[in-house]
Amino acid sequence: MVIKEGKYGSINVFINDLFISSFPVGDKWNLDYYKKKSNEALLKGMIDENIKLKTMIKVFYEIIQNFYLIKKQNKRMRGEDHQLLFMAVLSLIKLNKINEDDYLLICGRKKPKKLKVY
């Protein structure tokens, strides 16, 4: 289990209380950036690829379920797999099919304690 922490913390993805993936949060890479990219991918699929919304929703649920099973079996996921899963989760959140609080945990960066030297 690797938590990727950025300058301001991380966004962690959980499915059924199982940690699946982590994404860094920095100046450029924040939740709004990730949501914007998932919206662009969603629109591209609907407009450019001519995929029906109902079909996309079904595929997003299948992606989430498949990666949940992979992680439950302790198999490795590639970097592209993590990104695909994150985009699927964010797309379903955008479409109000799942609740953000059930899948995402946004953690701020822990500030180290300053030790007094005598």
Check pLDDT > 80 for residue 102.
yes
Split at pLDDT 50, 70, 90, the class of 66 is very high
Total number of domains in the chain: 1
Residue 104 sits in which domain range?
9-108
Mean pLDDT in residue range 30-37: 87
Check pLDDT > 80 for residue 112.
no
For the chain, the average pLDDT equals 86
Asked if residue 31 is part of any domain, the answer here is yes
Asked if residue 64 is part of any domain, the answer here is yes
Asked if residue 3 is part of any domain, the answer here is no
Asked if residue 28 is part of any domain, the answer here is yes
Question: What's the rounded Cα separation, in Å, for the pair 26 and 31?
Answer: 10
Which tokens hold the place of 9?
């913390």
Asked if residue 115 is part of any domain, the answer here is no
Is the model more confident about 69 or about 2? 69
Among the listed residues 30, 8, 12, 29, the one whose alpha carbon sits nearest the alpha carbon of residue 21: 12
Asked if residue 1 is part of any domain, the answer here is no
Asked if residue 114 is part of any domain, the answer here is no
Helices (H), 1-48: 31-47
Asked if residue 2 is part of any domain, the answer here is no
Question: What's the rounded Cα separation, in Å, for the pair 105 and 57?
Answer: 22
Among the listed residues 73, 97, 98, 68, the one whose alpha carbon sits nearest the alpha carbon of residue 85: 68
